[in-house]
Structure 1
Amino acid sequence: MLVHICCSVDSHFFLQKLQHDYPNEKLTGFFYDPNIHPYSEYQLRLLDVKRSCKKLGIELLEGEYDFEAWMEAVRGLQNEPEKGKRCEVCFDKRFERSAQKALELGEKSFTTTLLVSPLKSQEQLKRSGDIFFQKHGIEFIAYDYRTNGGTQEQSRVTKEEQLYRQDYCGCIYGLTIQREQQHRLMDEMFSPLANQILPSSIQERLDMYTYRNELEEKNIAYKIIKEKFLNYRQFSHKIVSAKTEIIPSYALFYSTLPRKKAEGKVEFLHNNIGYFNREEIMFVTLEFFNSTCNFKYKSVNELLFNPPSVDEELKFRTILTDTHYNLSPIIIVEKIPQTKLTIELNAKIYEDTREKLIII
């Protein structure tokens, strides 16, 4: 039997149940989910599914990540709610490819781990599956492992196996609607040009779960926990002089302006810090930044495209301000400007939760 797989949270429990109920059935996993966005999230879910299938002794095949074709298929359905028409089209596309893969492998039936997801309509899935049975002759088996405490059991398995538990279905449209309803920043879509790994980003989780797999290969015990913290995302930043010249600059992590813009000038210098006369802004030179942190940046532009880690930025902030609680804008420049400036800084600080791996 071919089993279409959407994520490890659904698949691990679902596959365990199939192995128990059908011990003589050879199961082949098929990860085909071009709806998952962004691609780093796709990589993360695939990474965890590979681990899960390996633990269960199930062969896993990966389908094509034809995201553009998926986008075309759901064109015009962007505002459909969860379990609406967009989801139905999404199921149809994934079932079509799963049925084709089952035919290629000589299988007579297929199913999907989506059936166990409480966010999905089983009736909707069954309708899509029945269409492909009539079209291809591949029987769709609709197992119901949600009832009789199945959802609670699935949650237990997820926790015990320390699976990656995503908090959105996968597609950009569902994510957009969900974050708007939650009044939350859609920070999953942030991907800095400089490739700096941001706290609670998909890339941070991808690195952590990759490290988790390495620890398991070495039989090193670990635990994945969650912690609350103050997160930060910077949308844009620019400094313009009185002569309308853009001054190359870099704003450190946690730098914000309440009105996103400030006009004024550096009032005085003290201990290598230039103090602006508005919004508690501080300026430091790249030379001072290099000497304090033992960096070797040749220009601010180099810093922009190859920044240090967030932890290193926070260490410098603490050295400069002698506190862990300082949120003033700290801006790095080649030399302290002595002219009137217009500083634009669009950024947000917000409460967030992230996963953390500890070795035990």
Structure 2
Amino acid sequence: MADLLRLLLRVAEKAANVARVCRQEAPLFQLLVQEKTGDDKNKKFVQDFKTLADVVIQEMIRHDVGAQFPEMAGFIHGEESNKFENGLGECVTVTVCSTEEETAALLATVLGGDHTAASLLARAIHQDPATIAADTDGLAVPLSPSELGIWIDPIDATSQYIEGREEVLEEGRLFPSGLHCALVLIGVYLRSTGEPVMGVINQPFNYKDPAGGRWKGKHFWGVSCGSINVCSVSRPKDGPGAGLSVVLSSSEKPVVKDALTSLCGPDKLMFASGAGYKILCVIQGLADVYVLSEGSTFKWDSCAPHALLRALGGGVVDLNKCLQSSSGVQDPQIELTYHQPNTERKGAERWANHGGLVAYRDSSQLRSIIGPLKDKL
């Protein structure tokens, strides 16, 4: 498990490098931000270069993990399909090849012969990142890779990534939007039960070096398995009389906003972009709870940060199940799991968190949230 964690930290940093390169290199940046109109809009790659960036990251992680842990190869899932139709109507399956040149040639077929952009992307995919420091040596978890599956969200909060607004982050403060909301999320779950046991979060745009103008990232990780709970983030200490703080999506239902304003007060209700970033805010103690009443997140959004919260003594629950359960927050059935699709749905919707969710660090905080929402939803 220590080897797997080290590998996931490394591939998450490679993914972060790809995300940064797509914004730093002009030929890629132009493809990333330009709006398509007319006939171009109907060509899948041209319509959405950001989807190609997502797929490239996803397939790179799938390739690297499958190479070191072949027994996991069939259980590495992501948000995106890796099949593209290029401008000539050809269907191209995007994979990471054994050499940089082969990968560049493959990407050029998707990119309509744009060899410059293809080469830049291929170089980032095949570049080894600097070693990621993590104290994982003593990590002995009684699990085998053959028992595990992986969920990847290559670039969570894509709209913030594309918009690219830069914020200077301050310690202890939540910033509602900007590049820092874009995260690489890699979550590991038990195939038998679906419980999240390991998570890696990489924040590619955490800090901009004033000297070189280059972005630096930050990573977070956690392992939760039985009595073993280890996290790179210390459990935040609540100050005396701090009061409960909640982070929401700005598009949250008015009835939920009103109920939580009555509970917490208007100053303790915050809004932010990106499901992964909002859960990271709870992990870091920038907010106590994240509430979402809509089924608009997916397994790839929540798996990685869920593992970190479990390591800190918290969790992520299905809001609807929580509201309906006679056992309340003690019911083990309300926790989100990651191994089974909703067979009544199709496509990506099979993997949606349909009942909404609540991410929390402490069950007492979860309990205080559920009461006011019970009569409203």
TM-score (structure 1 length as normaliser)? 0.25
TM-score of the superposition, structure 2-length normalised? 0.24
Larger radius of gyration: 1
